[in-house]
Amino acid sequence: MISLDDIRAAAQRIKPYVRRTPLLAADQLKSPVTGGELALKLECLQVSGSFKARGAANRVMSLSPEQRAHGLVAASGGNHGLAVARCGHIAKVPVTIFLPESVAAEKVVKMQAWGAKTVIGGADFDHCNALARDLAEKDNATYVHPFADPYVVAGQGTVALEIFEDRPETETVIIAAGGGGFVTGAGTAFKALNPNIKVVVVEPFGSPTLHDSATAGEVVTLPRITSAIPTMSCRRTDDALFAQARKVIDEYVLIEDAHMSEAAKWLWFEMGIAADPAGAAAVAALLSGAYKAQQGEKITVAVCGAGLPS
């Protein structure tokens, strides 16, 4: 689907439109979540509030002027929609975002502030995805998929280039997943740069898309989603994406929604970092014990989305 060269090309393409986010040591803690040496990649400080800014920018900035003129359409649980809305503002093109009923209200307001039209309807991402694709085909607009587009995946993978440059001694990276674009892009870069880096993916028990597909040995469609975290809820991943994902993911872990809320509170109390539940999911894997770290293990996690702990 993508290669390290694609990710490096994406890094150059998106450089004017995204932030190089800091990597912060998780030290001086009252209540450590691991016996390992933990560092946090603060994608919650990214433009639009999450790592999604990278993939959206790479997709939109690769379009021709004619393609941009027809507008952009996306489906999102929230963060991808914010990123596409901002890119539409930069490119001066119309944007329509389809969102599930569970989307956070403040994210809808931010999308509208960037000038996007928002359409709320459907119980989950998959329903919104179908509606968005129909509109894109009808209007001849570009559909910016949140995880199945190679340009989007390559853009998300640029996070790994920065982590590797700032902390090449990293032994394990932990990344949250909805559809799997972030972990696939980042995992591809990590494995190309150092095959010994362990890539761990985290999903909710209520939306174990990659976990269940890996167990089955093929992409499966979840019969239902019970997680209340819209940005991590996806009934089915993409076949081509999963074919690459399973080559780079070493371990799959599952957590409860409540674990993410607790991890968001931990980040706020211990580090002064405002993350939404999905943004705190990688920390939740440690806090809950879902990922068993070794003493002194050099772990880097992505705090992938901003929000206030509830």
Give tens-digit pLDDT for 136-148.
999 999 999 999 9
Query: Are 36 and 100 part of one and the same domain?
Result: no
Asked whether residue 59 is assigned to any structural domain, the reply reads: yes
Asked whether residue 38 is assigned to any structural domain, the reply reads: yes
Q: Look at residue 35 and tell me whether its pLDDT is greater than 80.
A: yes
The percentage of the chain sitting over the pLDDT mark of 90, rounded to a whole number, equals 95
Last residue of a domain, one of 99, 123, 143: 143
Last residue of a domain, one of 85, 115, 143: 143
Q: What is the CA radius of gyration of the chain?
A: 18
Q: Look at residue 36 and tell me whether its pLDDT is greater than 70.
A: yes
Query: Are 71 and 34 part of one and the same domain?
Result: no
Asked whether residue 309 is assigned to any structural domain, the reply reads: no
Which residue type sits at 73? V
Q: Which two three-digit tokens encode residue 117?
A: 């039209």
Query: Are 57 and 46 part of one and the same domain?
Result: no
Asked whether residue 307 is assigned to any structural domain, the reply reads: no
The model's confidence at residue 124, banded by pLDDT at 50, 70 and 90, is confident
- Residue 59: its pLDDT value, please? 97
- Residue 25: its pLDDT value, please? 98
Which residues share a beta bridge with 120? 99
pLDDT digits (tens, 9 = 90+) for 156-212: 999 999 999 999 999 999 999 999 999 999 999 999 999 999 999 999 999 999 999
Asked whether residue 310 is assigned to any structural domain, the reply reads: no
Q: For 88-138, where are the E strands, in sequence order?
A: 95-99, 117-120
Query: Are 171 and 246 part of one and the same domain?
Result: yes
Query: Are 127 and 213 part of one and the same domain?
Result: no
Whole-number Å distance between alpha carbons of 45 and 57: 16
Mean pLDDT taken over the chain: 96
Query: Are 71 and 174 part of one and the same domain?
Result: no
Spatial contact of 13 and 58, defined as CB atoms under 8 Å apart: yes
Per the listing, tokens 């949140």 go with 146
CATH code, 177: 3.40.50.1100
The model's confidence at residue 246, banded by pLDDT at 50, 70 and 90, is very high
pLDDT digits (tens, 9 = 90+) for 219-234: 999 999 999 999 999 9
Within 13 Å and on the Cβ side, how many CA atoms surround 214? 18
Per-residue HEC secondary structure of 59-83 comes to: HHCCCCHHHHHCCEEEECCCHHHHH
Torsion sign across C-alpha atoms 245, 247, 251, 252: positive
Mean pLDDT score, 264-293: 97
Query: Are 70 and 35 part of one and the same domain?
Result: no
Query: Are 183 and 113 part of one and the same domain?
Result: no
Within 13 Å and on the Cβ side, how many CA atoms surround 70? 15
Can you give the residue range of the structural domain that contains 171?
4-50+150-302
pLDDT digits (tens, 9 = 90+) for 44-88: 999 999 999 999 999 999 999 999 999 999 999 999 999 999 999
- Residue 310: its pLDDT value, please? 66
The model's confidence at residue 308, banded by pLDDT at 50, 70 and 90, is confident
Whole-number Å distance between alpha carbons of 281 and 284: 5
